[in-house]
Structure 1
């Protein structure tokens, strides 16, 4: 509004100045035309100024300014809230995230240490296994009886302790051998010459299939037999037990006889060498 007053004032000043420039001897219409041409641009600007003023009044500036102030206040509040959250995050980060990172690093170190301990335990376990095997070997060496060479083979004739056929087989295996496995009449005669006073288990049996006699040493059919002329019978007339294991029987001049595997008698172990190499 003040701008309009200033504009009208300037128009008047220009009009006066224009009038001063008119010569007294000039015609009146020429002087008026000159004055009009001088102030015409300002006069033509006045209507547009009134339109702009009317538009401003239509916008109701007090209301618009109120809305703008309200929006500005809301934005300020939101900005302040966001700044507070950022400040909270900055405060929270060192106390929480750093602790989490420290825990993760600690766990990583712990896992690494545990892996090392596991490897050490595995190495220790392997060493212990080797030690145990060595001790077993040493114990067997101490426990193993002296095998004697009879013919071309090494035998141990156990006559002081009676065992079942399976127990005798396990005992011979523990000593690094197996129940005697005769392959020829020469071997039988050589061994027979060393036997006395007892019945002895050898490795022949028909546990798997009746009448099919196998060597427990190699799980193949036995190659040599020296049966008593009335044997094998597969039956004990006194107790009706199956007779699936073979012995060298004293009262049969150490010829072969089938007998119940559960009977406990002496036994003969055989080994490939005099000393225990297993």
Structure 2
């Protein structure tokens, strides 16, 4: 690059001198005739060209700077394109992984739900134990009114219990203290003489009355309890033990 610039400047100066001499002759002006053209011209050229030669390093430096900047810009553009392509590919991959994760999660949930449904159709609340084919909690320490007992069963995650058949009644009876009373979730508070389950809202599925019951004294005996395997209707505000069931099917 340095030699190219020097050659260009010398050529420019010689042509300029030639033109000046020609112009001087054409215009009738005096022309300086040289006794020793090579030496005198060389000195003259050097005098005129030296300032320009002095500028060559600075000019070269600027040219080198431009080339360096051009290289940097090229590399930056290349890096930007590469980075953009990488980010696009990464985003596409992330989207694909998210979709696959959702599919796997849905499949696992579906499989787990089926498995739990087969083994245990409902999560059993704490303290409930299996008696027969269902789960119950029998309160033998705290006594409550029928309404309070129903509320306590709900707080525990269950319902005041109803009984579905003779077999279940006998299984529960075996867990109870003799001669004690336990509230059941059976009542006729909505319509006298029509006993229904509090848990399901359906007519009571199984009733086994003690002799002489239900009495339904002045339509005030609206709640049912059990003692020694037999049922009685009694005042709902009386406090006694109670039995809860985990489900609301019966």
TM category (shorter chain) comes to 0.3 to 0.5
Instruction: Tell me which protein shows more helix as a share of its residues.
Output: 1
Please identify the structure whose Cα radius of gyration is greater. 1
With structure 1 as the length reference, what TM-score do the two structures score? 0.42
With structure 2 as the length reference, what TM-score do the two structures score? 0.47
